[in-house]
Amino acid sequence: MAVPPRVPRSSPDGSTPVRVLTVAGSDSGGGAGIQADLKTMLALGAHGMSVITAVTAQNSLGVQCAWELPAEAVRAQFRSVADDIGVQAVKTGMLATAELVETVAAQLADLSAPVVVDPVGVSKHGDPLLATEALDAVRTKLLPTATVATPNLDEVAQLTGVRVESEDDQRRAAGAVLAHGPRWALIKGGHLPGGDAVDLLTDGTEEHWLRAPRHRNRHTHGTGCTLAAAIATYLAGGYEVPAAVTAAKEYVTGAIAAGFPLGAGIGPVDHGWLSERT
Ligand SMILES: Nc1ncnc2c1ncn2[C@@H]1O[C@H](COP(=O)(O)OP(=O)(O)OP(=O)(O)O)[C@@H](O)[C@H]1O
Ligand SMILES: Cc1ncc(COP(=O)(O)O)c(N)n1
């Protein structure tokens, strides 16, 4: 298995780590959301920071309850981090409501750092994490701020109406996502059948097909969050988009291979797999 690199320190004397921000929901079970993102950032050598948009009561069986934070609380967390510490890349995940999508998009519009938008719609168990009436704000306000948008196949269908059943469909889906304004689209094929897990990264000109062996492991809670957080970390570390996504795919593939059982349902990917190898 390919071993992805850790990001270089961001100061010449090596004292300051790369700073990456996640704007997402909290997963009390620790496998997805804010918790997955911060573990990923630490594993790859960055300093992770968080803007919490919602709190979920969640475990290996699903999401039992969720509460979104007031827009003012989200804005204040964002300003606290951006105005003092500074961010070198941002990842967005669960944003819950149209008001929070608009609040976050407004903050991102003024930022010069790269942005990875994971347009989280539903959990692996089918629990809604975004109100249906927020989809329009995702299309018109959030996607235009994205350096890379990383929808899974359900999110592609929700956002563009394109149903993906083949690699050709992934190409059509990418075009439909790019029409909403992100610089790059990563159409994740994790939910397609087949021996490999194949994702398409494109900016409409270049095409990169990222292939990894599909692991027959049911403990895949948090795959999408982990991949998007890893991409943001590599972008913060100065990688170009194709190199960042390639390294992030290596990291998530290893984490899926090492996913472990917890509770009675779907366990998490193993964010610590790299340190177990060194
Ligand atoms: N069983 C698997 N083996 C290897 N790679 C996988 C597997 N399942 C998903 N992937 C890869 O994991 C990454 C995340 O893709 P996935 O389609 O699972 O995202 P997602 O549905 O957004 O995740 P989540 O369910 O956590 O929201 C992609 O690179 C995908 O190809
Ligand atoms: C707070 C939060 N964010 C994202 C997900 C998606 O992850 P998954 O699809 O693996 O359940 C989740 N379950 N919870």
How far is the centre of ligand 1, averaged over its atoms, from the C-alpha of 224 (Å)? 6
Residue that the structure tokens 């018109």 belong to: 140
Are 213 and 256 in contact, with CB atoms under 8 Å apart? no
Give the whole-angstrom CA distance, residue 276 versus residue 223: 19
Q: Which of 147, 220, 226, 246 is catalytic?
A: 220
> In 3D, which of 266, 245, 252 has the Cα closest to residue 213?
252
Q: Which of 124, 189, 202, 225 is catalytic?
A: 225
Is 65 annotated as catalytic?
no
Cross-strand pairs, 19: 47
Q: Which amino acid is at 223?
A: T
Nearest CA owner, ligand 1 atom 23: 224
Is 91 annotated as catalytic?
no
Structure tokens at 144: 């235009």
Global pTM exceeds 0.90: yes
- Ligand at shortest distance from the CA of 52: 2
pLDDT of 277 higher than 80: no
Chain mean position to CA 258 = 19
Q: Which helix (H) or strand (E) holds 27?
A: strand 19-27
Is 225 annotated as catalytic?
yes
User: Is any ligand 2 atom within 6 A of the Cβ of residue 124?
Assistant: yes
Structure tokens at 81: 């981090």
pLDDT at 278: 57
Q: Quote the ipTM score.
A: 0.96
Residue that the structure tokens 């909403």 belong to: 180
Question: Within the chain, how many helices (H) and strands (E) appear?
Answer: 9, 9
Give the chain's mean pLDDT: 96
Is 220 annotated as catalytic?
yes
User: Is any ligand 2 atom within 6 A of the Cβ of residue 222?
Assistant: yes
Give the whole-angstrom CA distance, residue 144 versus residue 114: 12
Q: Which helix (H) or strand (E) holds 64?
A: strand 62-68
> In 3D, which of 231, 244, 64, 266 has the Cα closest to residue 150?
231
- Ligand at shortest distance from the CA of 119: 1
Q: pLDDT tens digits, residue range 121-131?
A: 999 889 999 99
Q: pLDDT tens digits, residue range 25-81?
A: 999 999 999 999 999 999 999 999 999 999 999 999 999 999 999 999 999 999 999
Q: Which of 33, 222, 237, 259 is catalytic?
A: 222
CA diameter of the chain: 49
